[in-house]
């Protein structure tokens, strides 16, 4: 039934790209999925489970494994791994995209394009006061996710020891209009609190401090959980300005406590980095003549067959990316039906 | 392929904008929708072609996706309607936040809903209002959906030249463009304070608010003409009854979707019953804009799946063994058993969790490929291999089995393990565990059950059931003094390979 229709090109195979292509395939459309990395799944495929004491904390990370398992039922979706798109040309009807990658060069025709190219975790080197590259035991939350997934426990990059005191710094690269990030990244309060809970579950003696402005998102159970979360961790309602190496390998910060500047230090520090536009965004904006949203992400051009799904359109969680992908599928189909 | 005949009409239940938008979206995409409208007057903007039943209330829903029969009470008459899917799309109720102000309220205290009515011109403000204070929840647990309303109201008041203050603890901005909306309110002149404690008194008929500004550490006092209380979104009034009728899960607050990521985006535990918008959770405008088209895709995907579902029984039922005790009917988490004078298993509703098979006191139900004798055979056969297998594992296909499958076959760890895949932890029977120990010449050192973490179980209760089964067998073995085999229940997720490897290697 799908033979007479044009294919739909999906760029990026994170939660959003996987969900969108499967939704379209189930509704009878041919999809071509192009992924620049060597495997499917995007960022979430590298995250840890955050369950505590046998209870799921609803982080959504395992949903990507579910999507990948179900993806096996769709052999008709053509997948190009380690492939990028060099050029996209608009035709009278549809587009021609030039793929370049593992399988060589190839031109493909398609009726619509879904950009599911995702986000880039904020690069802490962009904020010089963090001194990220010169403080060995300062890591990003992306690194902590991978550490917990691959090694189960946290360890310090400097000596491989398990940290006894850990500090999380929230909103790194978010809620900062001056640096071009005029948005809350929506996910970092949730992932940081959940990872902190998991760390305490794995190593109950770990003392965890949060530097934060306010706590934005945690999910449905926030109002019931907030009181006990306040007990579990040390909360400092401030984002430190100065970061330095202290006692040889610890991470030090200066904060203002009741009008006095004090230095605090920790075995390890985790930066809760936000979600920022990818480096490829500009290329796509130019190739497809797209504008930028007020938050700095890609805007779609749905009347002309270009759709933007998932975090490529702005910060969003796994949950929202899945909803957005299903919603976009409906709009893409309406476009395809109208264009026929 | 021999396609099943599927009824593709969608019944939408609602009382407001969400249901109207949803019906329209379904209609535009080529599906027939039928609107069960709670109110007595027809909603505005319903195009021809969408049937609307006024003053209608669902009282029963039988059947399965592609073939539901709804019993509806409409203007004192019972009617029957057929549909392929049901979508719950009621609006939420709002409730003012009474952290500090208590009802009955002073005339200088209004709710956000009152304020919106004033802005729409539906209500008059008494007296001259120059200064307004917006109060958010002070416990820090507000939602983006309610701060979105608050910010919009602030902007409208500022537009009218009214001085605005807003006091809250952790005002939520975690939704598309919400931080920008907050920025516009702040740059437009609204002064925001952060606090979790304040007092309100009234002087000369005007509210006086005292609090400490937590950022500047100063005592503050604002004398306003009006205080506007934020509102929480609560589940719509019809949901408690409706959830009983539909047999679907809710979250702790009563919204009609369990706090279980496997129900995302819009699913319930009953296949073909969807929940959209404010019936599901407090949602922002942006959320709703995604959920409505997402619902269209979800139901079309489900219909396509149902059409191609093979005509094979996935459950075998031994009518002679059945005592008609209703246990299976009561324990099925997916509304997949229709009871007449015997249980009837609805193939399209059944999610093959096996919970009914594990609960049936008479072993009258078997899930295909999970027959008792086959499992017994698997345990025995697997053990005939050359290596000894001191560890027997029962693993849920969604979590434990995915991890075991990902271990490369050359890994020596696998040589010590024999494992049996279950479609859900709920399928685990006492007998399987006893067979694993007793049904062979060689006695295992360990029997492990690897099922999903609680709240991450597709069937909601499968993993809880598995844990209970393990505990029961453990205490039984204790009571007979058996100590050669360690029996363990371990919950996990598919992304915990490292943790499970360590646990397995420890034996
Ligand atoms: C540290 C951290 C922890 C997080 N934890 C959670 C959590 O616990 N729960 C949660 O809900 N959310 C979490 N998030 C957010 C989550 O990562 C996103 O919601 C999710 O990854 C969005 O999926 P996506 O498909 O939009 O993007 P991505 O996951 O970024 O996927 C995009 C895909 O597109 C590919 N791609 C990009 N550009 C191109 C190109 N030009 N050509 C071809 N392919 C391309 C990429 O390789 C990638 O595979 C976290 C985020 C961070 C930073
Ligand atoms: S949702 Fe997160 S915490 Fe829950 S089981 Fe999945 S990965 Fe673990
Ligand atoms: S989610 Fe939390 S940490 Fe992330 S930007 Fe928002 S407030 Fe900051
Ligand atoms: S639980 Fe077993 S015995 Fe009871 S009604 Fe169901 S099939 Fe019959
Ligand atoms: S296997 Fe599960 S879903 Fe199917 S009928 Fe039995 S209890 Fe219900």
pLDDT digits (tens, 9 = 90+) for B369-416: 898 888 888 877 655 554 567 899 999 999 999 999 999 989 988 888
Distance from B401 to chain A by nearest Cα, in Å? 12
Q: Taking a contact as any Cβ pair under 8 Å apart, which residues of chain A between 233 and 292 contact chain B? A: 237, 258
Distance from B404 to chain A by nearest Cα, in Å? 14
According to DSSP, the residues that pair with A101 across neighbouring strands are: A83, A104
Q: Which residue has the tokens 């080197």?
A: A125
Instruction: Using an 8 Å CB-CB cutoff, list chain A residues near B10.
Output: none
Counting every residue written for chain A, the total comes to: 340
pLDDT at A217 over 90: no
pLDDT value for B205: 80
**Number of Cβ pairs closer than 8 Å across A and B?**
171
Q: What is the pLDDT of residues A299-329, one digit of tens each?
A: 999 999 999 999 999 999 999 999 999 999 9
Q: What is the pLDDT of residues A4-60, one digit of tens each?
A: 578 999 999 999 999 999 999 999 999 999 999 999 999 999 999 999 999 999 999
B437 close to A (CB below 8 A): no
Q: Which of B141, B294, B495 sits opposite A327 (nearest CB)?
A: B294
Q: Which superfamily does CATH assign the domain made up of A8-118+278-339 to?
A: FAD/NAD(P)-binding domain (3.50.50.60)
Q: Which superfamily does CATH assign the domain made up of A121-275 to?
A: FAD/NAD(P)-binding domain (3.50.50.60)
Lowest pLDDT segment from A23-37, A90-104, B213-227, B231-245: B213-227
pLDDT value for B440: 61
B297 close to A (CB below 8 A): yes
B290 close to A (CB below 8 A): yes
Angle, alpha carbons A301-A303-A305 (nearest 5°): 70
Q: Taking a contact as any Cβ pair under 8 Å apart, which residues of chain A between 87 and 146 contact chain B? A: none
pLDDT at B124 over 60: yes
> Quick check: CB of B351 below 6 Å from ligand 5?
yes
pLDDT value for B101: 64
B289 close to A (CB below 8 A): yes
Residue ID of nearest Cα to ligand 2 atom 6: A62
> Are A118 and A275 spatial neighbours (Cβ–Cβ below 8 Å)?
no
Residue ID of nearest Cα to ligand 1 atom 12: A317
B246 close to A (CB below 8 A): no
Q: What is the distance, to the nearest Å, from the Cα of residue A109 to the centroid of all Cα atoms in its chain?
A: 29
pLDDT at A95 over 60: yes
CA dist B22 and B10 (Å) reads 10
Contact A319 B180 (CB under 8 A): no
> Quick check: CB of B324 below 6 Å from ligand 4?
yes
CA dist B452 and B462 (Å) reads 9
pLDDT at A1 over 50: no
Q: What is the pLDDT of residues A48-58, one digit of tens each?
A: 999 999 999 99
Nearest one of B61, B63, B64, B65 to B80, comparing CA atoms: B61
Q: Which residue has the tokens 């940290």?
A: A163
pLDDT value for B455: 97
Three-state DSSP at B229 gives strand
CA dist A74 and A209 (Å) reads 45
Distance set, CA A300 to CA A30, B244, B288, B332, B395 (Å): 21, 42, 18, 44, 44
Instruction: Using an 8 Å CB-CB cutoff, list chain A residues near B296.
Output: 330
Q: Which residue has the tokens 């401090």?
A: A209
According to DSSP, the residues that pair with A292 across neighbouring strands are: A298
Q: Which of A56, A150, A151 sits opposite B455 (nearest CB)?
A: A56
Q: Taking a contact as any Cβ pair under 8 Å apart, which residues of chain B between 171 and 230 contact chain A? A: 171-180, 183, 194, 214, 217
pLDDT value for A2: 44
pLDDT at B99 over 80: no
Q: Do domains A8-118+278-339 and A121-275 have the same CATH topology?
A: yes
Instruction: Using an 8 Å CB-CB cutoff, list chain A residues near B300.
Output: 26-27
Distance set, CA B35 to CA A181, B25, B53, B177 (Å): 43, 12, 6, 32
> Quick check: CB of A317 below 6 Å from ligand 3?
no
> Quick check: CB of B422 below 6 Å from ligand 5?
no
- Residue range B276-296: average pLDDT? 98
Instruction: Using an 8 Å CB-CB cutoff, list chain A residues near B294.
Output: 323-324, 326-327, 330
Nearest one of B113, B110, B125, B112 to B200, comparing CA atoms: B110
pLDDT value for B358: 93
> Quick check: CB of B296 below 6 Å from ligand 4?
no
Q: What is the pLDDT of residues A322-331, one digit of tens each?
A: 999 999 999 9
- Residue range A290-294: average pLDDT? 97
pLDDT value for B333: 96
- pLDDT above 70: percentage of residues in chain B: 96
CA dist A228 and B263 (Å) reads 26
Q: Taking a contact as any Cβ pair under 8 Å apart, which residues of chain A between 19 and 48 contact chain B? A: 23, 26-28, 47-48
> Quick check: CB of A45 below 6 Å from ligand 2?
no
Other C-beta atoms closer than 10 Å to the C-beta of B251 total: 18
B95 close to A (CB below 8 A): no
Three-state DSSP at A102 gives coil
How would you list the strands of the sheet with B51-53, edge to edge? B51-53, B33-37, B10-14, B85-89, B273-275
Q: What average pLDDT does chain B have?
A: 92
Beta-carbon contacts of A19 under 8 Å, excluding residues fewer than 6 positions away, are: A67, A321, A322, A325, A326
Band of pLDDT at residue A129, cut at 50, 70 and 90: very high
DSSP string, B145-210: HHHHHHHHHHHHHHHTT-EEEEEESS----STTHHHHHHHHHHTTPEEEE-S-EEEEEETTEEEEE
> Quick check: CB of A118 below 6 Å from ligand 1?
yes
Instruction: Using an 8 Å CB-CB cutoff, list chain A residues near B281.
Output: 220
pLDDT value for B302: 98
Ranges of each domain in chain A: 8-118+278-339, 121-275
Q: Could you tell me if the ipTM is greater than 0.85?
A: yes
Distance from B252 to chain A by nearest Cα, in Å? 8
CA dist B443 and B456 (Å) reads 32
> Are A170 and A25 spatial neighbours (Cβ–Cβ below 8 Å)?
no
| Gyration radius (Cα) of chain B, Å | 29
pLDDT value for B387: 58
pLDDT value for B381: 65
> Quick check: CB of A149 below 6 Å from ligand 2?
no
Q: What is the pLDDT of residues B465-478, one digit of tens each?
A: 999 999 999 999 99
> Are B271 and B260 spatial neighbours (Cβ–Cβ below 8 Å)?
no
Contact B252 A215 (CB under 8 A): no
Q: pTM to 2 decimals?
A: 0.96
> Are B96 and B111 spatial neighbours (Cβ–Cβ below 8 Å)?
yes
Q: What average pLDDT does chain A have?
A: 95
Q: Quick one: which H or E segment has residue A337?
A: helix A318-339
Residue ID of nearest Cα to ligand 4 atom 2: B360
């Amino acid at each position: 039934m799908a033979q007479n229709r044009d294919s739909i090109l999906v760029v990026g195979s994170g939660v959003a790209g996987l969900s969108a292509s499967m939704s379209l395939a189930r509704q009878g459309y041919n999809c071509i999925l192009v992924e620049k990395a060597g495997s499917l799944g995007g960022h979430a495929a590298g995250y840890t489970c955050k369950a505590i004491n046998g209870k799921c904390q609803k982080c959504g990370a395992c949903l990507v494994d579910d999507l990948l398992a179900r993806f096996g039922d769709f052999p008709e979706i053509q997948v190009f791994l380690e492939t990028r798109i060099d050029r996209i040309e608009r035709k009278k009807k549809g587009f021609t995209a030039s793929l370049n990658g593992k399988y060589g060069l190839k031109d493909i025709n398609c009726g619509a394009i879904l950009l599911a190219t995702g986000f880039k975790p904020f690069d802490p080197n962009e904020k010089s006061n963090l001194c990220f590259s010169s403080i060995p035991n300062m890591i990003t939350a992306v690194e902590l996710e991978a550490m917990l997934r691959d090694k189960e426990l946290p360890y310090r990059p400097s000596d491989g020891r398990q940290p006894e005191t850990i500090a999380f710094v929230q909103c790194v690269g978010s809620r900062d209009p001056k640096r071009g990030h005029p948005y809350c990244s929506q996910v970092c309060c949730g992932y940081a609190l959940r990872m902190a809970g998991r760390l305490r579950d794995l190593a109950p003696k770990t003392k965890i401090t949060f530097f934060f402005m306010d706590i934005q998102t945690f999910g449905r159970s926030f109002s019931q959980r907030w009181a006990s979360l306040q007990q579990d961790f040390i909360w400092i309602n401030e984002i430190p300005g100065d970061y330095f190496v202290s006692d040889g390998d610890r991470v030090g910060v200066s904060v203002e406590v009741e009008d006095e500047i004090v230095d605090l230090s920790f075995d390890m520090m985790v930066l809760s980095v936000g979600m920022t536009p990818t480096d490829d965004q500009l290329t796509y904006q130019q190739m497809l003549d797209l504008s930028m949203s007020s938050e700095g992400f890609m805007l779609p051009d749905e009347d002309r067959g270009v759709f933007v799904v998932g975090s490529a359109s702005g910060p969003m969680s796994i949950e929202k990316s899945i909803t957005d992908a299903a919603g976009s599928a409906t709009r893409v189909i309406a476009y395809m039906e109208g264009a026929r | 392929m021999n396609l099943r005949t599927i009824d593709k009409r969608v019944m939408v239940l609602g009382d407001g904008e969400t249901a109207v938008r949803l019906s329209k979206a379904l209609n535009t995409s080529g599906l027939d929708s039928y609107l069960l409208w709670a109110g007595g007057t027809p909603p505005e903007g319903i195009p021809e072609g969408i049937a609307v039943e006024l003053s209608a209330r669902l009282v029963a829903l039988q059947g399965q996706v592609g073939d539901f029969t709804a019993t509806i009470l409409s203007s004192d008459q019972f009617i029957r309607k057929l549909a392929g899917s049901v979508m719950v799309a009621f609006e939420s109720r709002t409730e003012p936040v009474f952290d500090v102000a208590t009802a009955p309220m002073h005339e200088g205290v209004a709710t956000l809903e009152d304020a919106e009515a004033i802005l729409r011109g539906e209500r008059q403000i008494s007296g001259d209002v120059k200064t307004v204070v917006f109060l958010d929840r002070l416990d820090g647990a507000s939602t983006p959906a309610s701060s979105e309303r608050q910010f919009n109201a602030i902007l409208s008041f500022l537009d009218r030249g009214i001085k605005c203050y807003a006091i809250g603890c952790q005002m939520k901005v975690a939704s598309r463009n919400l931080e920008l909306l907050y920025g516009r309110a702040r740059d437009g002149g609204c002064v925001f304070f952060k606090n979790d404690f304040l007092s309100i008194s009234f002087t000369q008929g005007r509210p006086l608010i005292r609090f400490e500004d937590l950022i500047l550490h100063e005592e503050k006092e604002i004398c306003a003409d009006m205080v506007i209380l934020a509102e929480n979104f609560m589940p719509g009034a019809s949901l408690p009854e409706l959830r009983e009728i539909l047999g679907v899960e809710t979250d702790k607050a009563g919204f009609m979707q369990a706090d279980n990521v496997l129900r995302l985006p819009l699913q319930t535990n009953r296949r073909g019953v969807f929940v959209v918008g404010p019936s599901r959770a407090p949602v922002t405008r942006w959320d709703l804009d995604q959920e409505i088209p997402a619902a269209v895709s979800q139901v079309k995907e489900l219909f396509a799946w149902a059409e191609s579902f093979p005509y094979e029984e996935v459950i075998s039922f031994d009518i002679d063994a059945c005592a008609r005790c209703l246990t299976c009917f009561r324990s099925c988490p997916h509304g997949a058993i229709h009871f007449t004078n015997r249980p009837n298993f609805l193939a399209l509703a059944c999610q093959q969790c096996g919970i009914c098979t594990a609960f049936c006191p008479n072993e009258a139900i078997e899930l295909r490929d999970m027959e008792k004798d086959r499992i017994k055979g698997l345990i025995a056969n697997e053990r005939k291999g050359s290596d000894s297998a001191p560890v027997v594992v029962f693993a849920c296909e969604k979590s434990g089995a995915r991890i075991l499958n990902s271990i490369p076959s050359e890994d020596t760890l696998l040589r010590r393990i024999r494992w049996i895949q279950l479609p859900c932890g709920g399928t685990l029977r006492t007998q399987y565990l006893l067979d694993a120990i007793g049904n062979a010449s060689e006695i295992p050192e360990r029997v492990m059950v690897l099922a999903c973490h609680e709240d991450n179980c597709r069937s909601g209760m499968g993993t809880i059931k598995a844990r209970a089964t393990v505990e029961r067998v453990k205490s039984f073995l204790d009571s007979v003094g058996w100590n050669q085999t360690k029996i363990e229940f371990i919950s996990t997720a598919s992304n915990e390979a490292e943790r499970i490897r360590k646990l397995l290697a420890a034996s």
